[in-house]
């Protein structure tokens, strides 16, 4: 699985063969086919493994999924830290999971990627003590999660920005996006005010 993620993280799936994976893993071609049936099944299994690892890393420690006494913005920053811990420690798995964009994601693979994005969105809503978001706020939150994904891939590709600075910038981006949304959506304005007020206390 690790060998498959390494290869899928560096090349498009079409450019990876079962022979490539078997060779990288030090296993026989027949053994890979025995356990996975074919390249598509192996690709799906490898991405499911990466998705499960990321979701486990994002899960907060508290019994209710929150850090006791934490302020929403602090918890958002803590969630970003855990996210980038995974990006740093499992670079090829992260790249294999998220590179390529939605145009290359359909069927079961698209479902795996979408589940990760939905999990991240639910985590953000829980950290911000937010109920069901209206259209403007939903678009804002989903836009921010896309920015986080892109930032992770860019950071792996270039490595020319320190992680703490990148994480702070992404928190500031969240506040900026909420500021724009607040001009037409009272729910976004209330959330922004709650976040800023929490920081001031």
Range of the domain at 97: 50-200
Q: Is residue 24 part of a domain?
A: no
Query: For residue 24, how far is the Cα from the chain centroid?
Result: 26
pLDDT value for 60: 65
Q: In Å, how far are 86, 133, 145 from 161, measured between CA atoms? A: 17, 32, 19
Using an 8 Å Cβ cutoff, are 175 and 192 in contact?
A: yes
pLDDT value for 93: 85
Q: Is residue 16 part of a domain?
A: no
pLDDT value for 2: 86
Q: Is residue 29 part of a domain?
A: no
Using an 8 Å Cβ cutoff, are 156 and 96 in contact?
A: no
Q: How far apart are CA 41 and CA 30, in angstroms?
A: 14
83 Cβ neighbours under 8 A, 6+ residues apart = 54, 57, 58, 120, 148, 152
pLDDT value for 23: 94
Residues of the chain with pLDDT under 70: 60-70, 100-106, 199-201
162 Cβ neighbours under 8 A, 6+ residues apart = none
pLDDT value for 85: 93
Q: Is residue 43 part of a domain?
A: no
Return the CATH number at 87.
1.10.357.10
55 Cβ neighbours under 8 A, 6+ residues apart = 116, 119
Q: Quote the number of domains for the chain.
A: 1
Q: In Å, how far are 5, 45, 73, 118, 170 from 147, measured between CA atoms? A: 23, 26, 17, 14, 8
Q: Is residue 25 part of a domain?
A: no
- Sole residue written with tokens 């500021």: 179
pLDDT value for 130: 86
pLDDT value for 101: 45
**173-191 pLDDT tens trace:** 999 999 999 999 999 999 9
Q: Is residue 27 part of a domain?
A: no
pLDDT value for 102: 44
Q: Is residue 171 part of a domain?
A: yes
**157-172 pLDDT tens trace:** 999 999 999 999 999 9
Q: Is residue 23 part of a domain?
A: no
């Amino acid at each position: 699985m690790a060998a498959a993620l390494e290869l899928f993280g560096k090349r498009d799936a079409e450019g990876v063969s079962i022979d490539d994976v078997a060779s990288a893993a030090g296993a026989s071609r027949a053994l890979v086919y025995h356990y996975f049936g074919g390249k598509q099944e192996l690709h799906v299994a490898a991405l499911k493994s990466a998705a499960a690892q990321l979701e486990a890393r994002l899960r907060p420690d508290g019994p209710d999924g929150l850090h006791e006494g934490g302020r929403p913005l602090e918890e958002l920053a803590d969630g970003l830290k855990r996210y980038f811990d995974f990006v740093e420690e499992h670079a090829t798995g992260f790249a294999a999971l998220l590179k390529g964009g939605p145009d290359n994601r359909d069927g079961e693979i698209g479902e795996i990627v979408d589940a990760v994005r939905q999990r991240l969105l639910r985590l953000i809503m829980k950290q911000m003590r937010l109920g069901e978001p209206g259209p403007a706020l939903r678009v804002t939150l989903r836009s921010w999660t896309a920015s986080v994904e892109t930032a992770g891939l860019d950071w792996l590709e270039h490595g020319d920005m320190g992680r703490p600075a990148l994480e702070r910038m992404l928190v500031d981006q969240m506040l900026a996006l909420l500021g724009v949304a607040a001009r037409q959506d009272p729910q976004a304005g209330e959330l922004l005010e709650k976040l800023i007020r929490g920081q001031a206390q």
